Amino acid sequence: MLRFNRQFDPGSMKLVIFDLDGTLIDSRLDLIHSVNAMLRNFQRPELPGEVVASYVGDGAPMLVRRALGDPDDEKFLKEALDFFLAYYREHKLDYTKAYPGIPELLEQIRSNGSHRKMAVLSNKPVNPSRAIIEALGLAGFFVQVYGGNSFETKKPDPLGVNTLLKETATLPENTMIVGDSSIDVLTGRNAGIATCGVTYGFAPHTLCEAPPDVVVETPRELAELFV
């Protein structure tokens, strides 16, 4: 059920910025398998899937750091990150898929607003982000896809959003970010744009830390915002 914490007009949105993991795509298994492959390679015990999933959202370096228990050895951390990225590059599409209803949602947003644009802003590295979106047949919906290494800062810093605002010549009051975690909500707040939280992703428990302007439970509910 749609829950508004702050009233705003979704129909006035001319730019909709989506998070990727846990929002557009269910990449949980491939991330879990890649993290545990990294841990096995360095003779560390594997982690339960729900623990790995809870570490997702702040980018690959932080995911690897958390999985290793925040070690002080930066050289080791770099080796582990390199292994993880190489493994994930090969296995990023083993199980990853768009959440049910996402293609229909994107089509509805596009068809119900001739001047409405969509973009992706993820903390996942940009190359796998773009490759996954392309492979899943979603690339045609987005004017731009940015990742965690596209800028010198990641979400919740507003640099990525501000860049998209400039590139699309869109005002903050006509822009909304959609994501499954408090990171996305804080990004939106920092950029002065509307925020939408989805509860079907990886980190819905974090939305209580930073309540979004509106909460939706399914892609179908999100589509209702733009009817």
Catalytic residues, by residue number, are: 19
Backbone angles phi, psi at 94, to 5 degrees: -60, -50
If 0-12 CB within 10 Å is exposed, 13-18 middle and 19+ buried, where does residue 40 land? exposed
Return the number of other C-beta atoms located less than 10 Å from residue 189's C-beta: 18
Token readout for 70 is 């925040």
d(CA 180, CA 110): 21
b/e 144-183 (16+ beta carbons within 10 angstroms → b) = bbbbbbbbeebbbebbbbbbbbeebebebebbbbbbbbbb
Cβ neighbours of residue 146 closer than 8 Å, sequence gap 6 or more: 119, 120, 121, 122, 126, 129, 160, 163, 164
